[in-house]
Amino acid sequence: VRLVESGGGLVQFGGSLRLSCLASERILNLAHMGWYRQAPGKQREFVAEVTTDGRTNYADSVKGRFTISKVNAEDTIYLEMNSLKPEDTAVYSCYADLISRYWGQGTQVIVSS
């Protein structure tokens, strides 16, 4: 399984971005999928998850600002990020939990103050 993220970039404080994660195979109804992020000098942290039946979970730091969704027919999950803050600056990576966890290569998000 290959996961490819896109949608990162540079955005100003308070702005929005939408990240995408495209899976190479039809796994969205088989795998819990989600996003982690890693800021420079920090450990990777959980951001959000969408389960096979569409339930969602979020880190407290992004609740109310980020929305995770999936479109099975597109083999894609999305992370809509609003009200971005400089502390959201990180490399965002998507994952898929099957028998093992698969990771994408990551996409950089930079939020300027």
- 3-class SS of residue 3: strand
Tell me the HSE value of 104 on the side-chain side, using a 13 A CA sphere.
26
DSSP H helices in the chain: none
Residue carrying structure tokens 């989600």: 34
Residue 88 confidence (pLDDT) above 90: yes
Work out the mean pLDDT of the chain and round it to a whole number.
96
Q: Residue 51: its pLDDT value, please? A: 95
Residue 29 pLDDT exceeds 90:
no
User: Is the pLDDT assigned to residue 58 strictly greater than 90?
Assistant: yes
DSSP code at position 32: E
Query: Residue 18's beta-bridge partner residues?
Result: 80
